Structure 1
Amino acid sequence: MARYRGPKSKIARKFGEPIFGPDKVFEHKNYPPGMHGMSARRRKVSEYGLQLKEKQKAKYTYGVLEKQFRNMFEKANSSKGITGEVLLQLLESRLDNVVFRLGIAKTRDAARQFVTHKHIVVNGKVVNIPSYHVKPGDQVGVREKSKAMEEITDSLHSRRSTRYEWLEWDGTQMVGKFLNVPEREEIPENIKEQLIVELYSK
């Protein structure tokens, strides 16, 4: 499966929430897509269907492919702690997600692109792997040559007012610090991780 590059509003409507961020289309059509719209009679979703939908939502939200997601679940399952929570913590620790959370990029897609195009440094060294796992204490910033990039400066200028307890940002140096792995209650994504655990445990 290749990375999804189709209409994001359609996917957001499928899950009933703007999983890719602010979405004007979703605001006007916050019901499932389809020719019958809100009038369509929906069949009762099975337990398996609910679990699968939750997994798909998590994958689309974080922009992770099936094999990557499965590997992360296996890692979470073999780690100490609650599997579902550890899974979300692993997703939050991805470099592309950290770049997005810091406000360097407006979306995770943009963050992934900044990383692959070598605009991001970790502890002063260029890292171009979006799935790279950031560790507590690591510093994530913008490469010196890229600090004047319009896309980055525009994103930082319109930086979200939301602040995350596990991240620290120095606007003068354009560098952030990953203080610690976030607790589940700190992660804002509306994902029922237990359903994903149940799906993979079958």
Structure 2
Amino acid sequence: MARYVGPQCRLCRREGEKLFLKGIRCDTVKCAISKRKYPPGQFTWGRGKLSKYGIQFREKQKIKRFYGILERQFQNYYKKAEKQKGNTGENLLNIFERRLDNVLYLVSFAISRKQGRQIIQHGHISVNDKKVDIASYLVKAGDIIKPKNDESSLNIIKSNIEFVKGRNAPAWIEFRKDTLEAVVTQLPTRDDISVPIQEQLIVELCSK
């Protein structure tokens, strides 16, 4: 499976804002955006104003990097969102938000989405009491996500929850800390998604 293996902070600097690719480090003074508020590479001072296409393209790159998605998978998600009823941009965000690795990040089972993918691929997570090792699994209303019932899995999840104390689960997920369960009570709406993305720009680009 293809994946990006380069510096994570370089991606944030290229988009000009925090994408929270390194978990809580992004909220500290060590964040690359705080230190270097300019794009990576040489001669950044010579770069001109973005065209309309450039603005749309950067928005598309931003959402891919935010959720850790590469181009082919993005195209598949977009086609799926286009076929669904309603607003294509909101449908696309809804699909991204329902990815299992993103859900683990939202409920503090993982410090970052990247770590969420690792936890899932290593078999530490179950959905409705069945092991799921696919990070792109899309949760649905009624799903119960919890760590596998063994010491290793439980210790990883408990450690992450303790490490990320200030992160609150969104309204569409009920987090039960006593039983280490995350219950998807409903599908997310646009108001539930706090991603700094202008999805309409992405739709305008992809519909050309």
Q: TM-score, normalised by structure 1?
A: 0.92
1:173 is the counterpart of 2:179: yes
**Matching residue within 55, 58, 82 for 2:60:** 55
Partner residue, 1:26: 33
For residue 46 of structure 2, give the secondary structure of its aligned residue in structure 1.
coil
**Matching residue within 69, 82, 102 for 1:64:** 69
Matches of 2:95 and 2:61, distance apart in 1 = 17
| Contact 1:105–1:152 (CA under 8 A) maintained in structure 2 | yes
- Measured against aligned partners, the alpha-carbon deviations of 1:101-154 in whole angstroms (never above 9, x if no partner) come to 1110000010001111110000011011111110011001111114443x4222
Amino acid at match of 2:15: F
Partner residue, 1:5: 5
Tell me how far 1:3 sits from its aligned partner.
1.3
For residue 121 of structure 1, give the secondary structure of its aligned residue in structure 2.
strand
Aligned pairs for 1:37-186 (under 5 A) are: 40-145=45-150, 146-149=152-155, 151-159=156-164, 160-186=166-192
Q: Which sits farther off after the overlay, 173-182 or 153-162? A: 153-162
Amino acid at match of 2:78: F
| Structure 2 residues without counterparts, runs of 5 or longer | none
Matches of 2:97 and 2:154, distance apart in 1 = 27
Tell me how far 1:31 sits from its aligned partner.
1.8
Tell me how far 1:36 sits from its aligned partner.
4.2
Amino acid at match of 1:130: A
- Measured against aligned partners, the alpha-carbon deviations of 1:14-64 in whole angstroms (never above 9, x if no partner) come to 111110244322211122123345xx0321212111111111111111011
Q: Which sits farther off after the overlay, 20-29 or 190-199? A: 20-29
Matches of 1:162 and 1:30, distance apart in 2 = 28
1:192 is the counterpart of 2:198: yes
Q: CA RMSD in A?
A: 1.6
| Structure 1 residues without counterparts, runs of 5 or longer | none
Matches of 1:157 and 1:147, distance apart in 2 = 14
Amino acid at match of 1:66: E
Matches of 1:93 and 1:67, distance apart in 2 = 18
Amino acid at match of 2:5: R
Matches of 1:34 and 1:164, distance apart in 2 = 36
Amino acid at match of 1:13: R
Matches of 2:76 and 2:9, distance apart in 1 = 28
Q: TM-score, normalised by structure 2?
A: 0.90
Identical columns (%): 41
Matches of 1:36 and 1:75, distance apart in 2 = 40
| Contact 2:107–2:168 (CA under 8 A) maintained in structure 1 | no
